[in-house]
Amino acid sequence: MTTSTPQTAVLAAPAPESVPARRTLAAALCALLGAGLIGGAGIGGWVEQRAAHQPLAADAAYRKAASLWRATPVDTLFPPVLNGADAGPGGADRTWTRVALAPDADCGPALAADWRAALAATGCTRVLRATYTDATRSSLVTVGLVFTPADAPAMAALRGRLTAPPGYGFADSQRAAWTASVPAEAPVVVYAVSAFTDGRTLDAPRPAEDAMRKDATGAVAQAGLGHEAKAVADRTERTLRTLAAPPAPSGTR
């Protein structure tokens, strides 16, 4: 019979490294769990932020544009000064200064009977108007925005049906050239009508495109009043389209 160290007693006792090892494992699991929670919260926040910056659908942006008349500063819609590089006859530069600004108005008082009739199918919410003069103070241009609650197909039906609009600050008999358009981005009619500042009475106002033709004759064409109306309307419409366009998603190039 031999004697030996009671090995079973030694093996039953915990190894010196086992307690710290368990603590290390627990700490690692907690750290991993915490990282997962933080990561999940971060991803959730990123998803919410991304959803908030998603562009509006085209139809929603179109409907929202109907309220631009009350949500946009007037100096944005009708800047105090408009610059028109190459906007005059023969590509001459033009500059227009705002000389009159009408309060936003109900459609009845602001529009002539033929315009009210044309807009009967679309409805009319509000009319905004401003009048500009050129650098020589020889011409006036009233530009207007007619806001409606209509959808895009109803607005498209207006194209080609509108007649010469009224001015603001000069009589209908003084109207020289006019233009009107219906942009695809907003339920709004953009129009402009020009006149001489000397108040002269003219025959029926001419479409601006006709007065802008190279072979066009008469005082209205020679004075560039077709160019004046078209250029002011185009710049106002460009601003409107920019304001109505849904914002691009953040992070896009």
User: At 94, is the pLDDT very low, low, confident or very high (cuts 50, 70, 90)?
Assistant: confident
Contact assessment for residue 229 and residue 141, using Cβ atoms and an 8 Å cutoff: yes
Q: Which residues pair with 234 in a beta bridge?
A: none
pLDDT of 77: 97
Dihedral angle over CA of 145, 151, 154, 159, nearest 10: 40
Q: Which residues contact 128 (CB under 8 A, 6 or more apart)?
A: 69, 74, 77, 78, 102, 104, 105, 144, 145, 147
Distance CA 250, CA 253 (A): 9
pLDDT of 20: 52
- Token output for 104: 């936003």
pLDDT of 44: 44
Which residue type does 173 have?
S
| pLDDT mean over 90-98 | 87
- 22-80 per-position pLDDT tens digit: 555 455 444 544 544 444 444 344 334 444 445 567 789 999 999 999 999 999 999 99
CA distances from 229 to 51, 108, 170, 222, 223 (A): 42, 23, 14, 14, 12
Distance CA 57, CA 103 (A): 32
| pLDDT mean over 137-144 | 97
Q: With 0-12 CB in 10 A as exposed, 13-18 as middle and 19+ as buried, what is 154?
A: middle
User: At 84, is the pLDDT very low, low, confident or very high (cuts 50, 70, 90)?
Assistant: confident
Residue 139 has pLDDT above 70, yes or no: yes
Distance CA 182, CA 118 (A): 13
Contact assessment for residue 220 and residue 176, using Cβ atoms and an 8 Å cutoff: yes
Average of per-residue pLDDT values in the chain: 82
| pLDDT mean over 220-232 | 95
Distance CA 159, CA 134 (A): 28
| pLDDT mean over 84-108 | 87
User: pTM of the full predicted structure?
Assistant: 0.76
